[in-house]
Amino acid sequence: MALRSVWRPWKDEVVADRGAVASERPLTSEVGIEVLRQGGNAVDAAVAMGFCAAVVEPQSSCVAGHGQMLVHMNGRTTALDFSHRAPKAATPDMYRILRQVEHGNGLYEVESHANAVGHLSAGVPGVIAGLCKAHEMFGTLPLEQLVEPAIHYAGEGYLPDWQNVFAIGQAMSDFQKYGEPAKVFLPNGLPPRLGVDKVVQRDLADTLRRVARHGKAGVYEGDIPHAVEEYMGANGGCLSAADFHDYKVEVAEPASVTYRGVEIVGVPVSSGCTTAMQILNVLDNFDVAALGHNSAEYLHLFVEAARHAFADRYRYLGDPDFGPAPLRGILSDGYARSVAAVVDTERAALEGRSDKQPWVEYADEALHDPWVFDPQQRPLVEAAASPPSVGDCTTHYGAIDADRNMVSCTQTAVGGFGSRVIVPGTGLLLTNGMVVFNPKPGAANSIAGYKRGLANMVPLLALRDGEPMMSIGAPGGRKIMNCNAQIIMNVIDFGMGIQEAIAVPRVDAADRETYVDSRIDASTVDALREMGHGVEVVEETAAQGNFAVPVGLMVNSDTGRIHAGVDVFRQAEARGY
């Protein structure tokens, strides 16, 4: 048998008595833990972390980006949705589709990539509104105090890490094309030198000072929305002042499923939460633990359940304000049992059947009927299957405080540096939020004015007997859904601590192939192939993420202490006190 070296990185689990935070960057975690030390609660810490992340992780997040947050406070859980919305002037046929891509995710290629880069790709900003709403509802410290670290790192600059510099180099040609971002991210016309050149965003610092003084109104009212409208109109974009003025954060009771007696809580809109929770709900009907962690039998079962969930995702999910979506049916126990009954436990039934993306093919075929389990009336005519495009540049952070209040928040620039457009004089780096829609008309996730796009974000909380248990999340595009479900199963089914649950190798079934981490035993890979899986073995590295990048926090029910874990390949960091 051929032998090879295998890289098995590790990080120590943080164990804290009072409070803890976890995020994708050391600076973000440092800001969060200091807020907790200063007497802030979990939401205060999250708000400060969210603003900081939007400054020091610009390839992944921005204050003109989007997000979703779950807050468990004083025994009650609340969901805040400040995710992707199309400008009011957006139309279903606003992009010219050139072809369906025959590789990767099986997406439509749009002329000039106009839905992914540039002025016409910009979605309505949500992060400032979302963080301010969270502070308004749950915060205890002054907003000025929470925004101050972000103002400091924007105005005085921060030293970018190598991943930041690498991302800047990749986006360099677009920065030069659009002008304003080159002034920020290309000092002396080149990417910053590691350890030498700071990224300074003085216009953004001024905008954040407005937020510190006036909250959401500092950006969504007054002259900034009109400056955005004027600049966009002059450059072919359609984002308007009215889009800012009318933007509201959706505050709602969360969606939930029960997995092995643990309540898993997510955001109750068409998002990645729906799909991740559906996977868990289906697998709750199988004795997963008896199969053994990362055995071929377990991984096969997980992949099949995931592919069933993804087929439903792209057939049925879209903004429920623009057409019926059977969200309650999809997450019902009865529907989960009906799907589990048709999961093939022996063979890979939902992949390798054609050169089409499996979830496109099976979404067309309508594998299941969630409308039978949904209280809404079935639509007379169902929309076509709806695979969107996808962005994968996102960040996540979580916090648990001394009173065991919990927050899980994912926010995103959507693609790397979003639209790669900065509005002059404001520092606002706009997202390319339009890329999360299906650019083809007639689908559940097709474009419409002020419609919410189908998000991949998956912030999750877990409650055992109503008590705080876990805060989980990750960046990573479509791969977040499979990732977060596996971490929860690692803890609940296989008894792992949070750091181990995050660090062990995973599989992913969000794309055409089944991706298997190279750390998984070769005999297991061979067994999966014999079952019919189109396996691609990939190595996870610091430079290239083939899987999502999770961080998590967990309360030990026996000791009451907080345990925190983070991705072992990147610079994610947990802190506690």
Per-residue pLDDT at 344 exceeds 60: yes
Assess if residue 223 is contained within a domain. Answer: no
Per-residue pLDDT at 104 exceeds 50: no
349: containing domain: 270-373
Q: Percentage helix, strand, coil, to 5, in the chain?
A: 35, 20, 45
Assess if residue 294 is contained within a domain. Answer: yes
Assess if residue 159 is contained within a domain. Answer: no
Per-residue pLDDT at 357 exceeds 90: no
pLDDT score at 185: 97
Residue 225 to residue 243: CA distance in whole angstroms: 8
When pLDDT is cut at 50, 70 and 90, the band that residue 367 belongs to is confident
List pLDDT tens digits, range 83-93.
989 999 999 99
Count of domains forming the chain: 1
Per-residue pLDDT at 459 exceeds 60: yes
* Separation in Å, CA 417 to CA 54, 166, 190, 233, 422: 11, 12, 16, 21, 10
140 in active site: no
Lowest mean pLDDT among 12-21, 300-309, 536-545: 536-545
pLDDT score at 354: 43
pLDDT score at 2: 65
Assess if residue 401 is contained within a domain. Answer: no
Nearest to 364 by CA among 301, 434, 444: 444
Place of tokens 């996102």: 394
Residue 14 to residue 448: CA distance in whole angstroms: 45
State mean pLDDT over 530-538. 94
State mean pLDDT over 267-289. 96
When pLDDT is cut at 50, 70 and 90, the band that residue 107 belongs to is low
Cβ proximity of 49 and 37 under 8 Å:
no
Per-residue pLDDT at 271 exceeds 90: no
List pLDDT tens digits, range 43-64.
999 999 999 999 999 999 999 9
State mean pLDDT over 323-331. 94
Assess if residue 256 is contained within a domain. Answer: no
Per-residue pLDDT at 301 exceeds 50: yes
Q: Which domain CATH number covers 301?
A: 1.10.246.130
pLDDT score at 543: 79
Give the chain's end-to-end CA distance (angstroms, integer). Answer: 48
Single out the catalytic residue among 28, 78, 274, 394.
394
pLDDT score at 356: 47
* Separation in Å, CA 53 to CA 61, 82, 238, 448: 7, 16, 27, 30
% of residues, the chain, pLDDT over 90: 82
When pLDDT is cut at 50, 70 and 90, the band that residue 172 belongs to is very high
pLDDT score at 101: 66
* Separation in Å, CA 107 to CA 56, 305, 355, 370, 420: 31, 22, 13, 25, 21
% of residues, the chain, pLDDT over 70: 94
Residue 559 to residue 404: CA distance in whole angstroms: 13
When pLDDT is cut at 50, 70 and 90, the band that residue 388 belongs to is low
When pLDDT is cut at 50, 70 and 90, the band that residue 365 belongs to is low
Residue 471 to residue 548: CA distance in whole angstroms: 16
Per-residue pLDDT at 353 exceeds 50: no
* Separation in Å, CA 482 to CA 247, 473, 486, 502, 544: 31, 11, 6, 12, 18
List pLDDT tens digits, range 128-156.
999 999 999 999 999 999 999 999 999 99
User: Which residues lie across from 574 on neighbouring strands?
Assistant: 22
pTM over 0.75: yes
Residue 65 main-chain phi, psi, to 5 deg? -95, -155
Assess if residue 185 is contained within a domain. Answer: no
When pLDDT is cut at 50, 70 and 90, the band that residue 100 belongs to is confident
Helices in 82-161 by DSSP H: which ranges?
A: 127-138, 143-155
Assess if residue 158 is contained within a domain. Answer: no
When pLDDT is cut at 50, 70 and 90, the band that residue 350 belongs to is confident
SS3 208: helix
pLDDT score at 1: 57
Q: Calculate the CA 491 to chain-centre distance.
A: 21
Assess if residue 516 is contained within a domain. Answer: no
Q: Calculate the CA 418 to chain-centre distance.
A: 14
